[in-house]
Amino acid sequence: MSGEFNLIDRYFSHRQENRSDVQLALGDDCALLTVPTGYQLAVSTDTVVLGVHFLADANPADIAYKALMSNISDLAAMGATPAWLSMAISMPKFAQEVENNATLGTDDWFTENWLEAFCDSMFTLANQHNLQLIGGDTTNGPLTITFTIQGFVPSGQAMTRSGAKLGDWLYVSGNLGDSQAGLEVILDPSKSNRPHAQYLVQQHFRAQSRINFSQSLRGLASSCIDISDGLTSDLLHILKRSNVSARLNIDALPVSIQSCDFYGSMAQAQQAALTSGEEYELCFTVPDQYKTEVDKLEATSNENFAKAYCIGRIIAHPELTQQPEIQLYLDDKLLNSNNSSKLLTGFDHFKS
């Protein structure tokens, strides 16, 4: 591969103007930054790996968007505003730099055009969120991309997983299940003939930002998490950190018309909505006194399809277990444990 400094200069440097809070960015041993007075710094790191999060034939622009949106979504879960970004990327050699073509193997797809498309998409999304790349690292190896994102949240106003209380209402911020349907098309091309298949693939790679919507929840939501591993899996994180349980109404789950058509039934679309990973919608809880105000957010958000959908309520632990639990209801009836267990398995990167 071209020398590290030449690569950085060609693809990553000189792509953005410095933010006012960035005194020194790319080109030195460290970045020098200023956190505004009255704000806390929110920091998150995510890694995407070839063969785990995407396949070699995936569009590099989609990979960049999805990888960065995963980090942006973490900031949204805290109610933070994006500011700075670091990236560490391990890359195979460019195909044109390998002398013996017989050794190319599965890396023959990795070209300068691939990296250029990746960077163009990454910087486009970063610029949309006033997010500046301030540093990182490059090395040779299997394709692995790690982003560390940093943002600001007013001191004491960050939304966490640990604030849910008995009687709080349970919400999500948009349709669920599209990402799983899109992934099914990617993994099983025979499903590409189903209705809306390509739309759902696009939804898998191009989740909508919820940054603006999340900031409108500050001071209203008692807890929040972004849905990366599936609604039920991520909701359990809130329940465990808050030491509560939840009633979840399956028939209140927001699902798209496209998902229903793809699966052929509302029931299958609802099951996908329960477990679909990498949705990057928000799951949050709201005290009863703020419910009316949060419900009004349905008409005021300027982000595509962002609405406050009430899907259940926070309840006490079952008497027998006294452990955090999700109780699934359908048509106002509690499902038995056998039916519930089939619906509660979320996305796991180590099993997929």
Residues in binding site for substrate: 53, 278, 347
User: Are 85 and 46 contacting, i.e. CB atoms less than 8 angstroms apart?
Assistant: no
Q: What whole-number distance in Å separates Cα of residue 106 and Cα of residue 56?
A: 8
Q: Binding site membership: which residues?
A: 29, 44-46, 53, 74, 136-137, 161, 226, 228-229, 278, 347
> Dihedral through CA 106, CA 109, CA 110, CA 116, nearest 10?
-160
Tell me how far CA of residue 333 lies from CA of 249, 253, 336, in angstroms: 9, 15, 9
Q: Binding site membership for ATP: which residues?
A: 136-137, 161, 228
Picking from 131, 178, 136, 168, the residue whose alpha carbon sits closest to that of residue 16 is: 131
| Four-residue CA torsion sign, 73, 169, 223, 48 | negative
Q: Binding site membership for Mg(2+): which residues?
A: 29, 44-46, 74, 137, 226, 229
> Dihedral through CA 317, CA 318, CA 320, CA 323, nearest 10?
-30
Q: What whole-number distance in Å separates Cα of residue 157 and Cα of residue 341?
A: 36
Task: State the CB neighbour count (10 A cutoff) for residue 115.
Answer: 20
Total number of residues shown for the chain: 352
